[in-house]
Amino acid sequence: MTFKKLKEISEPHFYSIALDRYFAKKWRSALRKLAALAALISFGLSFDILPLSFGKADGMFFVFIFIYLTLSFVEFFYRSMMNEGLTVRIKEKMIDKNESFDYGLSNILYATDEIDVTRGFFEAKIGLLTFLRLGIPYENCKNFVYSERSPIMASALNFDSDFVNLPQYASTLYDIDKSLQSFLAQNSINKAEFVGTVMWVSRMEESKQCKERFWGRENLGAIPSIGTSWSYGVATDLGKFGVPFEYSVDISLFDSENGYREKEVQILENILQRSSEANAIIIDDDEKVARDIVGRLLKKIKLGTSLPSVEHKNIIELDSNNLIASFKNRSELEAEILKILNQSVLAGNIILYVSDLSGFVSSTKNLGINLPSLLSPFLASDNIQIISSATNSDFHFIIESSPTLLERFERVIPDTIGVEASVSVLLEQVLPIEKQYGVMFSYPAILNLAKSADEFITYGEMPSKALDMLIEIAPWAAERKMEVLKENDVSVFVSEKTGISTGMIKEKEMEKIEHLEELLHKRVVGQDEAVSGIASAIRRSRSGIANPKRPISSFLFIGPTGVGKTEVSKSLAESFFGDEKKMVRFDMSEYSSPEALSQLIGDFAMNRSGLLASKVRDNPYGVLLLDEFEKSAPDVLDLFLQVLDEGVFTDALGRQVNCRNLIIIATSNAGSDMIWETIRSGSNLVKSKDVIINSIIKDKIFRPELLNRFDGIIFFHPLQNNELESVARLGLEKLARRLKEKDIEFVVNQDVVDFLVEKGSDPQFGGRSINRAIQNEIEDLIARKIVSGKAKPGSKIEIKREELQ
């Protein structure tokens, strides 16, 4: 299809658009109302018997009637032309669905001349709205559109299909216009974001247009009828403990057109359609998912598009907590439950929603009631429909152990929702939030929000965590007086919330990452290979090219004790997460027994949560340090095989634990002897790396597949004399700082340093023995001086060689 042909098809719309342009809608409407009023008044004044009557009132009346009727006819014409080709939910004869074409697109076509298609796009209201929703300021757009650029002629536009809507038009325009591409790229917007924004904006405009058609069946049918409940009964007791579902879930925002959860709602509807045992249980760890699905079913019922078995029905949520709390006595509670169920059956138009069925079952069990057998006859009958929800573990624990419930409830297992589907939910919910806080969300910001929530929020499921973030970010943006929330603002918010730097790398941070080696070296002496290996892995992760479905980075540090393995981990926590305390440490030698795995991931039978699971859940962003990794039990090593590969593991209670925002460091002194040998014989450690790794594999300390899972195996060599000297100096400077607080100056001289290096060159303990020597020898000496009064506040201490043994 060509541009010319497209313009021909859109012609009916042009009459409405032209009318709007030359005679704005609000003026038309005001004039029409005025004419009606004037006609009425002049009609009144035309009667001779009235005191205010005057001779020309009759003539005036007919003039105003003429104006009123003309404007009304024009308005009908305007509406009719405008709604040509509109897509409506409930089919109507006056709108030919086969011929749908886009009023938004027609607006653009009308504004477009033959010479510059891109300018036409920008000059239409909908085009301008698109740029606003892309988060590009108006001034920038204007500068681009009216700048020197090679314009795209209308004749260059050719479309593949016979049916072209606004998003397709925008996509073609993007492909052809290179200057538009580079302008959008400057604002970090790609094609998918551009077309997605157009789609969103055009959907919003279309739904506005649909809402204005008050005479359409869609809007007339949504007005609730009277008398539909009269032929059904009243459940008085359910009234006390039941809440109409629409009170707890706002169904007005649900967009029944975007296909979200359509499959689940259909499955649910089909279950409820059955002649008997029409009960469903929605199994998901997030109860909101179940509520969302039930809410969408209710929306369908209210719209009148549901299957006959649920038509005119009310979904009532049973407040089981309140019910149980209201009755202390077993028999009373039992009687009340039966009463509620009987009344629901009698009423005939009730779908009962019981959230957390397993909770209800177990709390009634505590009172000695066997709920499954109480419910059983009702569940089996054809007179009642019950929807309930349960988490995965509760379902396995409680429902599966009760054959009655298992048999009577059909399972609905909702699909896990990815980033893309979450975006459509966010788009549903964002408009009222925008209104509430006076902040406008750009489309790329919403995309980023969904992506960040998926990647960085470790608790909860999608799309709930994205929706939670949407609700949190709006007041945050309002506080900062943002008018438009842009993509990068979301990254800033996520960084503030989680402590992880995301989004565009800022100048200050860029410098930090570029000089990460130097930063690490401030605390770590020597170990150049280790430090540069770590720094480059971090750079990979921060530049966004790392795999988001794995931990940020994972390393196996191999080397003898006291060579700085822990110090590197600490300084990594400090430089990457801003605090050395952002570190969870496990001494894996404690997890070498056969029970180790259940200690770490929990115990299903004892319903106990695991240490690793709970610690990672509490500190989802930071360094996970696994000391003496080689001592872990074999099944613990297998667990880490999965963690390193997928970045998640499932604890004993069936909950997923997200490790994707962790830097995992395992340390081991396996192969230290060989490292010593290598260093002693003067060969290069880097070159002998493979030999040492092979010997570790040969000795069956680590399996090769585990070693391969690490981003890097980093060797720490034993400290040389000059490095030991630096360690000694670092330690002494720390001590000097402490003494300074007591107003005593401690002079670090070569004598002391040499003494410490001598003491510290114990191959067994490395740098650690220097720290011990500082503690045992130097600190002890200074303490004596202070106690004996030789060193007073304001004095200077210098230790001579003779004083040291």
Residue whose CB is less far from other proteins, 378 or 576: 378
Residue whose CB is less far from other proteins, 77 or 138: 77
Residue whose CB is less far from other proteins, 232 or 604: 232
Residue whose CB is less far from other proteins, 347 or 791: 347
Candidate residues 94, 185, 335, 413; the one interacting with other proteins per rule CB under 8 A: 94
Instruction: Please state, as a whole number, how many other Cβ atoms lie within 10 Å of the Cβ of residue 236.
Output: 11
Minimum Å gap between C-beta 62 and other proteins is 4
Residue whose CB is less far from other proteins, 220 or 510: 220
Show the site string, 302-341: x = touches other proteins by CB under 8 A, - = not.
Answer: ----------x-----------------------------
Q: Does 342 bind other proteins (CB under 8 A)?
A: no
Minimum Å gap between C-beta 221 and other proteins is 6
Single out the residue of 19, 22, 20, 63 nearest to residue 41, CA to CA: 63
Helix axes 330-347, 371-380, angle to 10 degrees: 10
Of 62-70, 254-262, 556-564, 635-643: span binding other proteins (CB under 8 A): 62-70
Minimum Å gap between C-beta 310 and other proteins is 15
Residue whose CB is less far from other proteins, 163 or 459: 163
3-state secondary structure of 609: strand
Q: Strand 608-609 vs strand 656-658: parallel, antiparallel, or unpaired?
A: unpaired
CA triplet 499, 505, 508: central angle to 5 degrees? 85
DSSP 50-92: STT--TTHHHHHHHHHHHHHHHHHHHHHHHHHHTTT---SS--
Candidate residues 228, 373, 416, 749; the one interacting with other proteins per rule CB under 8 A: 228
Candidate residues 125, 217, 274, 411; the one interacting with other proteins per rule CB under 8 A: 217
Amino acid at 278: A
3-state secondary structure of 453: helix
Candidate residues 74, 419, 648, 674; the one interacting with other proteins per rule CB under 8 A: 74
Burial class (CB in 10 A: 0-12, 13-18, 19+), 647: buried
Instruction: Please state, as a whole number, how many other Cβ atoms lie within 10 Å of the Cβ of residue 287.
Output: 15
Residue whose CB is less far from other proteins, 137 or 304: 304
Q: Does 47 bind other proteins (CB under 8 A)?
A: no
Q: Does 207 bind other proteins (CB under 8 A)?
A: no
Show the site string, 345-364: x = touches other proteins by CB under 8 A, - = not.
Answer: -xxx----------------
Helix axes 191-212, 419-437, angle to 10 degrees: 60
Rounded Cα gap, residues 375 and 481, in angstroms:
54
Residue whose CB is less far from other proteins, 102 or 711: 102
Instruction: Please state, as a whole number, how many other Cβ atoms lie within 10 Å of the Cβ of residue 690.
Output: 9
Minimum Å gap between C-beta 309 and other proteins is 16
Instruction: Please state, as a whole number, how many other Cβ atoms lie within 10 Å of the Cβ of residue 762.
Output: 14
- Residue listed under structure tokens 């098809």: 9
Q: Does 2 bind other proteins (CB under 8 A)?
A: no
CB contact at 8 A, 672 and 562 = no
Q: Does 43 bind other proteins (CB under 8 A)?
A: no
> Strands across the sheet with 662-668, in order?
583-587, 622-627, 662-668, 553-558, 712-715
Rounded Cα gap, residues 209 and 254, in angstroms:
17
Residue whose CB is less far from other proteins, 98 or 252: 98
Residues 412-451 that bind other proteins (CB under 8 A): none
Quote the distance between the C-alpha of residue 727 and its chain's center: 45
CB contact at 8 A, 40 and 25 = no
Of 213-221, 364-372, 421-429, 590-598: span binding other proteins (CB under 8 A): 213-221
Residue whose CB is less far from other proteins, 248 or 342: 342
Show the site string, 269-308: x = touches other proteins by CB under 8 A, - = not.
Answer: ----------------------------------------
Q: How many residues bind other proteins, per CB under 8 A?
A: 48
Candidate residues 24, 33, 44, 73; the one interacting with other proteins per rule CB under 8 A: 73
Candidate residues 4, 21, 56, 549; the one interacting with other proteins per rule CB under 8 A: 56
Q: Tell me if the bond preceding 463 is cis, omega within 30° of 0.
A: yes
Q: Does 240 bind other proteins (CB under 8 A)?
A: no
C-alpha to C-alpha distances, 535 to 338, 547, 716, nearest whole angstrom: 67, 17, 15
Candidate residues 52, 139, 161, 227; the one interacting with other proteins per rule CB under 8 A: 227
Candidate residues 30, 44, 59, 704; the one interacting with other proteins per rule CB under 8 A: 59
Beta bridge partners of 650: 656
Of 70-78, 436-444, 634-642, 722-730: span binding other proteins (CB under 8 A): 70-78
- Residue listed under structure tokens 């707890």: 248
Of 109-117, 229-237, 534-542, 724-732: span binding other proteins (CB under 8 A): 229-237
Q: Does 683 bind other proteins (CB under 8 A)?
A: no
Of 72-80, 270-278, 334-342, 637-645: span binding other proteins (CB under 8 A): 72-80
Q: Does 779 bind other proteins (CB under 8 A)?
A: no
Residue whose CB is less far from other proteins, 11 or 587: 11
Burial class (CB in 10 A: 0-12, 13-18, 19+), 763: middle
Residue whose CB is less far from other proteins, 73 or 138: 73
Residues 15-34 that bind other proteins (CB under 8 A): 15, 18-19
Candidate residues 49, 226, 545, 606; the one interacting with other proteins per rule CB under 8 A: 226
Helix axes 125-133, 191-212, angle to 10 degrees: 130
Candidate residues 50, 96, 244, 733; the one interacting with other proteins per rule CB under 8 A: 96
- Residue listed under structure tokens 């899972």: 709
Residue whose CB is less far from other proteins, 204 or 346: 346
- Residue listed under structure tokens 């205010």: 52
CB contact at 8 A, 566 and 560 = no
Alpha-helix runs per DSSP H in 396-527: 403-408, 419-437, 443-456, 464-479, 487-498, 507-514, 516-521
Please tell me what DSSP assigns to residue 414: P
Amino acid at 3: F
CB contact at 8 A, 538 and 576 = yes
Single out the residue of 643, 646, 653, 694 nearest to residue 671, CA to CA: 694
Residue whose CB is less far from other proteins, 1 or 546: 1
Residue whose CB is less far from other proteins, 98 or 788: 98
Candidate residues 47, 66, 146, 459; the one interacting with other proteins per rule CB under 8 A: 66
Of 68-76, 115-123, 237-245, 295-303: span binding other proteins (CB under 8 A): 68-76
Q: Which two tokens stand for residue 179?
A: 């200057």
Candidate residues 233, 460, 499, 548; the one interacting with other proteins per rule CB under 8 A: 233
Candidate residues 24, 40, 234, 413; the one interacting with other proteins per rule CB under 8 A: 234
CB contact at 8 A, 778 and 732 = yes
Contact footprint for other proteins (CB under 8 A): 11-12, 15, 18-19, 56, 58-63, 65-66, 69-70, 73-74, 76-77, 80-81, 84, 92-94, 96, 99, 215-217, 220-221, 223, 225-234, 312, 346-348
